[in-house]
Amino acid sequence: MDAETHFTDTNPDACTPRTIAAVQRTLGLIQSDDLYSKVEAAKEIRWLTKTSQRCRRQFSAAVAPLVDMLSSGSAEANEAALLALLNLAVKDESNKVCIVNAGALVPIISFLRSESSNLQEHATASLLTLSASSVNKPIIGASGAIPLLFEILRYGSSEAKADAVLALYNLSTHTDNLSLILEAEPIPPLVDLLKTCKKSSKTAVKCAALVESLVGFEEGRTALTSEAGGVLAVVEILESGSLQSREHAVGTLLTMCQSDRCKYREPILKEGVIPGLLELTVQGTPKSQSKAQTLLRLLRDSPYPRSELQADTLENIVCNLISQIEGEDQSVKAKQMLAEMVQVSMEQSLRHLQQRALVCTPSDLPIASCASEVSSK
């Protein structure tokens, strides 16, 4: 389901005779030549369309004059028109398409560069809503909006970042936009967002989903493993995210491992993924459980010496879990295995924390990687 903005319809058919009269009066004002009257009309449109889907349809004739206001040069007029258009577009596919066809993208994209944080936020929210339309996705992708949305993701306010990643997720569901997203070097800002956002939030879900789509490409996989803490950020979502975000996280790691097990198994194992995967085989969604089981099979033949991962305990438990996971008592057997895993998990977590505390050393990373990590801090 495509993400939209924060507005919801409490009564989508609430259009009384008084409201109908207000709509007609406001339509007259928005088409006048007086900018002050147009601003007041835009504010009225925003208010009338906030909770009424029927009013949104009745104000479709206001789209063109509102789009014209976006180029008026008046900050007040720009904001009033943008907010009115935003409400007109919510949950109305026809208005979404009309707004883009009327030429709104050029001024909206210019607002992404505005020094006004309010205007930046409103423009980002507008692109989020407009990008929910399948008709608009390729048009927005071709408009040059994607690199600017990543600039918002890097430097915008918290609210703008959240809307930007949802807009980018919407755009990513159109296949042709994925190459444009990859060109914008998306992994570093997405990893930063995964690290800082609330793990159970919608932002985390869409961010994890976007990363999952990007690791379907070699450049996306390489960028994630090259980014300091990139794989770790995905593992942490797998461990403590919502059911949806955990599904995307395990999908990301599975895609990587299936593409080149020898190349990506070690970076994944280094981040202590096994306990989270075992838990997911019991507590995840059906898709998560299946993906976690498949990933465990790919990871169980560890490239580490047995002494490093205590393969005599950890790998045996994993293998036993995998061999017994199928059958009518799947959940009971898996939970029994998880109980056996507790002690090993605690020991592994302690070792993993010690490893994370170590700065790059010649024994585990090349000198070039050390320099890269230092320069990125």
Q: Which two tokens stand for residue 40?
A: 């007041």
Alpha-carbon distance 130 to 173, whole Å? 14
List the one residue out of 62, 60, 56 whose CA is nearest residue 40: 62
Model confidence pLDDT, tens digit, residues 7-53: 333 444 455 677 778 888 999 999 999 999 999 999 999 999 987 88
pLDDT digits (tens, 9 = 90+) for 61-109: 999 999 999 999 899 999 999 999 999 999 999 999 999 999 999 999 9
- The reported pLDDT for the residue numbered 303 is 45
Dist. CA 196–CA 191, nearest whole Å: 9
| pLDDT given at position 41 | 96
Angstrom distance (rounded) from CA 181 to CA 40: 38
Mean pLDDT of 189-202: 96
The answer to whether residues 259 and 318 touch, using CB atoms and an 8 Å cutoff, is: no
**pLDDT tens digit sequence for 253-280:** 999 999 999 999 999 999 999 999 999 9
Task: Report, as an integer, the average pLDDT of 3-10.
Answer: 40
> Can you give the pTM of this predicted structure?
0.78
Same domain, 74 and 119: yes
pLDDT surpassing 90 at residue 2:
no
Q: Domain check: are 212 and 139 in the same one? A: no
For the chain, state the CA radius of gyration.
Answer: 25
Same domain, 88 and 123: yes
Q: Note whether 273 and 229 are same-domain residues.
A: yes
Model pLDDT, residue 144: 96
Same domain, 198 and 161: no
Given a contact cutoff of 8 angstroms between Cβ atoms, the answer to whether 161 and 121 are in contact is no
- Are residue 97 and residue 145 in the same domain, yes or no? yes
Structure tokens that stand for 223 in this block: 């960028």
| 376 pLDDT tier (thresholds 50, 70, 90) | very low
Percent of the chain surpassing pLDDT 70: 75
- State yes or no: pLDDT of 312 exceeds 50: no
Q: How many domains does the chain have?
A: 2
Is residue 317 a part of any domain in this protein?
no
Average pLDDT over residues 299-313: 50
Tell me the C-alpha distance between 65 and 244, whole Å: 41
Q: In terms of domains, do 148 and 178 share one?
A: yes
Classify residue 92 by its DSSP letter.
-
Q: Are 202 and 284 within one domain? A: yes
CB 15 within 8 Å of CB 55: yes
Residue 188 region, left (φ>0) first, then alpha (ψ -120 to 50), else beta? Answer: alpha
Same-domain pairing of 22 and 167: yes
How far is 178 from 22, CA to CA, in rounded Å? 44
Angular region, 91: left φ>0, alpha ψ -120 to 50, beta rest? left
Sequence-ordered list of residues with C-beta below 8 angstroms from that of 223, at least 6 positions apart, any chain: 185, 186, 187, 188, 214, 230
Is the same domain home to 73 and 215? no
The residue-averaged pLDDT of 296-324 equals 55
Cβ(129)–Cβ(137) below 8 Å:
no
**CATH code for position 36:** 1.25.10.10
Q: Which is nearest to 173 in space by CA: 210, 129, 219? A: 210
The encoded tokens of residue 106 equal 């050029």
What local confidence, expressed as pLDDT, does residue 56 receive? 87
Output the six-digit token pair for 377: 């801090």
> Can you tell me the mean pLDDT for 319-345?
51
- Evaluate the CA torsion angle 295, 347, 338, 212 in order and state its sign: negative
Q: Are 238 and 276 in contact (CB under 8 A)?
A: yes
Q: Which amino acid is it at 202?
A: K
Does residue 166 lie within any of the structural domains?
Answer: yes
Terminal alpha carbon distance of the chain: 37
Residue-number span of the structural domain to which 238 is assigned: 187-300
